[in-house]
Amino acid sequence: MPNKKPSKPKPRSQDFDVATGAGGETHQHVPHEGPHHADGHLSTNQGIRVSDNQNSLKSGSRGPALLEDFVLREKIFHFDHERIPERIVHARGSGAHGYFEVTRSLSDVSKANLFQKKGQKTPVFVRFSTVAGGAGSVDTPRDVRGFAVKFYTQEGNWDLVGNNIPVFFIQDAMKFPDLVHAVKMEADRAFPQAGSAHDTFWDFASLMPETTHMLMWAMSDRTIPRSLRMIEGFGVHTFKLVDAKGKVTFCKFHWKPRLGLQSTVWEEAVKLQSADNDYHRRDLWESIVNGNFPEWDLGVQLFDQAFADAQTYDVLDATKIVPEDDIPVRIVGRMVLDRNPDNFFAETEQVAFCPANIVPGIDFTDDPLLQGRLFSYLDTQKSRLGTANFHQLPINAPKCPYLNFQRDGQMQMNVPKGRANYEPNSLKEHGEIGGPRECPVTGFASTSDLGKNVSGDKLRVRAELFADHYSQARLFFLSQTENEQAHIASSFVFELSKVQLEGIPARMVANLRNVDEGLAKRVAAGIGIDLPAKAKAARRSVEMTPSDALSIQKNMKKTLEGRTVGVLVADGTDGAELKKLRAGIEAAGGAVKVVAPKVAKVALADGSTISADGQLAGTPSQLFDAIAVVISADGCAALLKESAAVQFVMDAYGHLKAVGSSDAAAPLLKKAGVEPGSGVTKLGNAFVEAAKSRYFEREPAVRTLA
Ligand code: HDD
């Protein structure tokens, strides 16, 4: 028998009663919390207490082991089956719980319950991910980031399964398996892991001009974010909002990070892979542990059919944005992530997002990419989680009641009562359980399309406007700062330089000539090929007005909030100077991590000792947003002999970060190649101010960009 009576999980402060908005859980189907969840006696899964968890049952002290040992067999059996198939894409992810709060009602355009009242809160679970790499791959390759949000609304679950880029590589779900095969590790050799810089991806991309717009975003700094807390999220597709009368408004969803957008520079991203494989996962986890809850605003772009009809692009084409200058983003809510998962596997791994999960008041459009997704996700969850009952897992179950006549299947956790497993039935009239009934008024009915004629000729074609693959790619490129444009050109050069098959880079550059001649020339020169003939465009481009909203650098926030300053110290450091620096940074909302050649007993000038947060050899400056060097003349002499110390400063400078230092650090800065200029300061207020920014103007002095 279990040593403790299984009990309903206690309500947590962060969980909401979705019916009332108050705290407390309302899961309808709460699986038993097994005895292994609590402290107490160890038992088998059958509840038999285990006397010895160290030794298998043997014949004699040296064996052989006895088959009879069900304790050993059960333990090994369960262990052997711990892994489930990883996601075909987005395998590596990090999740967190939180809530969504309405800040401005959307009741004028949507009847969705979660959007009605200012202040209304809905629990959410969010999973961020990279796309190409496996579950054990690193966090910081150049890759799109998944941004999937499950809203546990009073009317059922709504999954907004988006990315940190507002467009996609392809227009039709038919091409998704090809895209994914091309970008993932190559089929015969199983490398490269987690990156797109290889033959098959660029082979596919260069043959598919519809990828061009997304490629511009993918080659920009969007795909090398500093933190998951500093990325935007997008629903990508045009969705529909539906009001109580059935009136439709088109909608694009945007998540805007409160900490502002922030990316790394490419060389830094590469080095982060060795500095910390789990850089983003750790950052997300630690920020929540420390109470610095990541936060986003939810914005919507709303437009009608007349606007859609007047555009030079098709709003059903997922390779297109609706520029914010044309339709401003209306902020309607905020999302706060305030609780880490209790268990990675049970929650982050088993969470099953399906774009098909929507609630009354939100609806799909005919976007052919979205339409394909509506099938794919449900299907994949069955193969990943092994049963059609995956919705019963606590992380997937709605927090409102769900009742229907679906029955049985593997791993059925619910125990429905009575005979009513069909409908219509009259069992209630006989005093038995009759089961649930339809709700014609409040139920989901695809109200926007219902009754509309959707017939048409059977065709395998793309709509005409979908053929313009370059206008928005050009819009994106022209909307960037000069430095961002150079980053894009350099990324193309880097990636295409890794391509070994002849002809592929030229084919890509031929496409880029349709985006911008200057960009194409820079990329061709960077990889050392002649400028190829321009690729034939299927449709003439239109010139669109550049939009500042598309640039990261034009929207960066000057702040230390959510940022960390790495402070390099050594024996002999002035403790008072260090204390003052820490106070200044913390007052500005930043965090401080002290790095020293040894972590314990760093001897300060006054004879006292402190512990460092990181040891120099394993804590490079990639891990920080800015650095300060607080050392004495003796400390400097010691650090001059440490290549890790020189590299610490050199990299921070090369990665365009603020570098502050005490006077005695001058020889170290000199050896690291630090030149006077913006972002290079003495300690004190000047440094605290400087640490709030990156110094892109320094870049020409530290590397040649394409
Ligand atoms: Fe997808 C996972 C985002 C197109 C098929 N996708 C997945 C995840 C995200 C996205 C964030 C991870 C969810 C999680 O954390 O569990 N996918 C997108 C976006 C797309 C997109 C923004 C384009 C707008 N996806 C797309 C298409 C198909 C799929 C066109 C297939 C027709 N996606 C899948 C999938 C995955 C998935 C194979 C893998 C694991 C999973 O679903 O749960 O079904």
Three-state SS annotation for 224-240:
CECCHHHCCEECCCCEE
694 marked as binding residue: no
The ligand 1 atom nearest the CA atom of 128: 15
Q: How far is the CA of 376 from the centre of ligand 1 (A)?
A: 8
Cβ–ligand 1 distance for 135 under 6 Å, the answer no
- Percent of all residues in the chain with a pLDDT value above 70, rounded to a whole number: 94
Residue nearest to atom 11 of ligand 1 (CA): 146
For residue 64, the Cα-to-chain-centroid distance in whole angstroms is 50
Residue 329: which of 428, 403, 255 has the closest Cα? 255
In angstroms, how far is the first alpha carbon of the chain from the final one? 69
**Cα torsion for 226, 227, 229, 235, to the nearest 10°?**
80
Q: Distance from the CA of 377 to the center of ligand 1, in angstroms?
A: 7
**Is the Cβ atom of 374 under 6 angstroms away from ligand 1?**
no
Range 522-528 average pLDDT:
98
Per-residue pLDDT at 626 exceeds 60: yes
Nearest-angstrom CA–CA distance, 94 and 279? 11
- CA distances 698 to 184, 341, 566, 683, 701, Å, are 35, 41, 20, 20, 6
In sequence order, the β-bridge partners of residue 240 are 250, 363
Question: What is the distance between the alpha carbons of residues 559 and 500, in angstroms, rounded to a whole number?
Answer: 43
Confidence of residue 34 (pLDDT cuts 50, 70, 90): low
**Residue 353 CA, ligand 1 centroid: distance in Å:** 8
Q: Which atom of ligand 1 is nearest to the CA of 162?
A: 22
Predicted confidence band of residue 445 (pLDDT cuts 50, 70, 90): confident
Contacts of 431 (CB under 8 A, 6+ apart): none
* pLDDT above 70: residue 173: yes
Could you give the CA distance from residue 88 to residue 134 in angstroms, rounded to a whole number?
8
Q: Which pLDDT does position 178 carry in this prediction? A: 98
Kindly state the tokens that stand for 76.
């090994």
Query: Residue 452 — very low, low, confident or very high, per pLDDT cuts 50/70/90?
Result: confident
Question: 373: annotated binding-site residue?
Answer: yes
For the chain, the C-alpha Rg in angstroms (whole number) is 28
**172, 280, 376: which to mutate for ligand 1, most atoms within 8 A of CB?**
376
**Residue 459 neighbours by CB under 8 Å, 6+ apart:** none
Identify the structural domains of the chain with CATH numbers, from first to last: 93-392 (2.40.180.10), 469-553 (1.20.1370.20), 559-702 (3.40.50.880)
Cβ contacts of residue 187 below 8 Å, gap of 6+?
181, 200
CA-closest candidate to residue 110, choices 330, 371, 370: 330
Where is pLDDT greater, at 453 or 257?
A: 257
Whether 168 is in the pocket of ligand 1, judged by its Cβ within 6 Å, is yes
Q: How far apart are CA 665 and CA 106, in angstroms?
A: 56
Inter-CA distances, 266 with 231, 272, 323, 620, Å? 16, 10, 27, 16
3-state secondary structure of 602: strand
Q: What pLDDT does residue 9 have?
A: 42
Helix axes 504-512, 199-207, angle to 10 degrees: 40
Q: 5 falls in which pLDDT band (50, 70, 90)?
A: very low
The neighbour count for residue 152, using CB atoms within 10 Å, is 26
Residue located via tokens 């910390």: 276
Report the sign of the C-alpha dihedral through residues 650, 652, 656, 658, in that order: negative
Separation of alpha carbons 693 and 563, rounded Å: 10
- The confidence score (pLDDT) of residue 447 equals 63
Q: Residue 7 — pLDDT band, cuts 50, 70, 90?
A: very low
Angle between helices 517-527 and 504-512 (to 10 degrees): 160
Q: Is the CB of 377 under 6 A from ligand 1?
A: yes
- Atom of ligand 1 lying closest to residue 129 CA: 15
For residue 607 the two structure tokens come to 């004879």
373 CB within 6 A, ligand 1: yes
Residue 652 pairs in a beta bridge with: none
Q: What is the pLDDT of residue 442?
A: 83
Predicted local distance difference test score (pLDDT) of residue 36:
53
Secondary structure letter of residue 10 according to DSSP: P
Residue 176 near ligand 1, beta carbon < 6 Å: yes
Q: What is the pLDDT of residue 441?
A: 82
- Position 492 confidence tier, pLDDT thresholds 50, 70, 90: very high
Rounded to whole angstroms, the Cα distance separating 223 from 541 reads 26
- Count of other CB atoms within 10 angstroms of residue 20: 10
Which residues, listed in sequence order, are joined to residue 255 by a DSSP beta bridge? 233, 298
Mean pLDDT of the chain: 94
- Ligand 1 atom with the smallest distance to the CA of 89 is 39
d(CA 208, CA 466): 13
Query: How far does residue 89's CA lie from ligand 1's centre (Å)?
Result: 7
Quote the percentage of the chain above a pLDDT of 90. 92
Atom of ligand 1 nearest to the CA of 318: 24
Dist. CA 53–CA 612, nearest whole Å = 38
> Which residue, chain included where needed, has tokens 């106070």?
583
Q: Is residue 181 in contact with ligand 1, taking CB distance under 6 Å? A: no
What is the position in ligand 1's atom list of the atom closest to the CA of 146? 11
Residue pair 367/313 in contact (Cβ under 8 Å)? The answer is: no
pTM above 0.90, yes or no: yes
Quick check: 25 and 394 in contact, CB under 8 A?
no
pLDDT surpasses 90 at 285: yes
Q: Whose CA is nearest to atom 4 of ligand 1?
A: 373
d(CA 695, CA 701): 11
377 is in an annotated binding site: yes
Q: Strands 93-102 and 121-130, how do they pair?
A: antiparallel
**What contacts 3, CB < 8 A, 6 or more positions away?**
35, 40, 41, 43, 49
Is 60 exceeded by the pLDDT of residue 14? no
Compute, in angstroms, the gap from residue 214 CA to the centroid of ligand 1.
16
Is the shortest distance between the CB of 400 and ligand 1 below 6 Å?
no
469 is catalytic: no
470 band by pLDDT with thresholds 50, 70 and 90:
very high
Alpha carbon nearest to ligand 1 atom 18, residue: 162
Task: Give the burial string for 272-285 (b: 16+ CB within 10 Å, else e).
Answer: bbebbbebbbebbe
Indicate which residue of 97, 113, 157, 163 is catalytic.
Answer: 163
What's the 386 CA to ligand 1 centre distance in angstroms?
Answer: 18
Cα 321 from chain centroid?
20
- The answer to whether residue 1 scores a pLDDT higher than 90 is no
Does 384 belong to an annotated binding site? Answer: yes
- Decide: helix, strand or coil at residue 221: helix
The single-letter code of the amino acid at 173 is A
Give the CA dihedral 191, 282, 553, 673, nearest 10 degrees.
Answer: -80
Lowest-pLDDT choice from 28-32, 256-260, 653-657: 28-32
Distance 366 CA to ligand 1 centre (A): 17
On whether 168 is known to bind a ligand per the annotation, the reply is: no
| 125 labelled ligand-binding | no
Q: What is the 254 CA–ligand 1 centroid distance (Å)?
A: 17
Q: Is the CB of 175 under 6 A from ligand 1?
A: no
| pLDDT 10s digits, 218-259 | 999 999 999 999 999 999 999 999 999 999 999 999 999 999
What's the CA gap between 375 and 23, in Å, rounded?
Answer: 35
Indicate the top mutation candidate among 84, 86, 89 to test ligand 1's pocket, ranked by most ligand atoms within 8 A of CB: 89
pLDDT at 3 over 50: no
Say if ligand 1 is within 6 A of residue 340 CB. Answer: no
Residue found under tokens 């069992």: 427
150 beta partners: 125, 159
Report how far ligand 1's centroid is from the alpha carbon of 704 (Å). 37
Residue 605 neighbours by CB under 8 Å, 6+ apart: 572, 573, 574, 575, 632
- Determine whether the shortest distance from the Cβ of 376 to ligand 1 is under 6 A: yes
* DSSP β-bridge partners for residue 595: 568, 614
Indicate whether residue 150 lines ligand 1 (CB < 6 A).
Answer: no
Strands (E), 320-383: 330-339, 362-363
Active site residue 29: no
Per-residue pLDDT of 79-134, as tens digits, reads 999 999 999 999 999 999 999 999 999 999 999 999 999 999 999 999 999 999 99
Contacts within 8 Å (CB) and 24+ apart, 81-85: 82/345, 84/349, 84/384, 84/385, 84/386, 85/383, 85/384
Calpha distance 124→116 (Å, rounded): 17
Q: What pLDDT shows up at residue 11? A: 38
What's the pLDDT score for residue 12?
41
Return the ligand 1 atom nearest residue 351 CA.
Answer: 16
Which of 279-283, 439-443, 581-585, 625-629 comes out lowest in average pLDDT? 439-443
Q: With a 6 A CB cut-off, is 162 part of the ligand 1 pocket?
A: yes
Q: Is 370 left (phi over 0), alpha (psi -120 to 50) or beta?
A: alpha
- How far apart are the C-alpha atoms of 85 and 390, rounded to whole Å? 14
